Amino acid sequence: MTDRILVCGLGSGMDRSLAELRSPKLELVVATDTPGDRARAAADTLVLCDPYDTTAVLAALSAAGIDRLDGVFSLGADNPPVISAVAHRFGCPGLPLETTLNCTLKDRRLEILRRAGLDLPRFATAASVAETVRAVAEIGLPVVLKPSDRTGSLGVMKVESAEQIRPRAAEALRAGGGRIVVEEFLRGTEHTLAGFMVDGALHRFGFADREYGRKEEFAPYFFEGGDTLPSRLTAEQIDEVTETVRRGARALRLDPAVINTDILRTHDGRVVLLEITCRITGARIATEVMRLATGVDPLPNVVRLALGRPLDPAELEPTRDRAVVQRFQPADGGVVEWVGDPRDVTRRAGVHDVFWGMELAPGTVVPPYRGGADALAGVIAHADDVAAAEAVAARTLRALPLRFKDAAG
């Protein structure tokens, strides 16, 4: 019998990957609120709904007549609790809801990791401006404020002075569900590790450096410029990071699970686990950027785990070593006068893809930058070495077919 699997996520993060999942042995049900042409072509059944809303997903599946699923996973969305609830409803393999909430809600995750002895920033939780003021006094400036229940850097801000605490705490509280994490601000290099946790073993299939050269250009908000492979860290340093991630996944009981992490390595060598969750790394990093660099396609093993089948570690061994970068252009205000097709730029040597990060048309008002999700455009580029790949990416972003009205216009 054909396996029916639900892919629940965002069109911009899943479109290219879905086409490669098509198989006579697999029936794809795709749940998204932003379906692109590729998603429509790849899906055997397409359901339109908010992939972050469990009730909406279940209602849309019911309306589409879906009464059986053999597996479910997310692609391009940070929604593990939804995946867990849908899997439970249909009797599919999956992590318990409590486990997915523990790794999704920042305050719960930090408490569990602290009890497990992981190296973390000093932190406190707050549910009001007054509690935030007290937390900052205990931790000391500068700090970072993070809504506990939000992703994509939404509402994440740096606080450097006493007069900034109250207005930024109020903004962070509004951005989330009324509870924020106050964290010590640490400096160092940041990295992304992608892997599978099965039977206590962490099978790493991707490791990238996060590009933060323009991190505080839009202060108090942070801008992440993209990802870079191969990493600048040594093999020994990467192994040290991997062991830290394994300990974190074990503490959170993420097993079996696909793992996505953000790690900071301080200038004095501390390995600090900033984020860890049970989903495939998004923003096309695991499915395209890492794959272009190493030749490893994680999706077959994501499907195996979703169906409750054994992992195939042999498929996670790199087959090539290529320099690949993804770089984003931040969206920071303006009114669009003219926009063309970014695919016209992909004819350049070394350009894998160019894409808009938001819907653009003449007259579109682009708001000021407010967080990591506000990307105007992005490019994935490759070359013989990182410097050459970065140069290709920079030239490509300068050549975007886009014009804004000037101030007088």
Model confidence pLDDT, tens digit, residues 10-68 = 876 677 788 888 888 999 999 999 888 888 888 999 999 999 999 999 999 999 999 99
CA distance 221 to 367: 14
CB contact at 8 A, 342 and 401: yes
Reply yes or no on whether the pLDDT at 407 is more than 60: no
User: For the chain, what's the residue count?
Assistant: 409
**Contact indicator for 225, 327 with CB cutoff of 8 Å:** yes
DSSP 297-308: --HHHHHHHHTT
Q: Which two tokens stand for residue 344?
A: 């016209």
What is the residue-averaged pLDDT of the chain? 93
- The Cα–Cα gap between 63 and 66 comes to 8
Six-digit token pair at 389? 């790949």
CA distances from 222 to 158, 233, 314 (A): 8, 23, 38
- Of 8-17, 34-43, 122-131, 257-266, where does mean pLDDT reach its minimum? 8-17
pLDDT tens readout for residues 329-384: 999 889 999 999 888 887 789 999 999 988 899 999 999 998 876 789 999 999 99
Q: Is 172 helix (H, G, I), strand (E, B) or coil?
A: helix
Q: Which amino acid is at 166?
A: R
DSSP code of residue 23: B
**Exposed/middle/buried for residue 66 (C-beta within 10 Å: 0-12, 13-18, 19+):** middle
Do the Cβ atoms of 298 and 316 come closer than 8 Å? yes
User: Which tokens hold the place of 39?
Assistant: 């998603």
131 in helix, strand or coil? helix
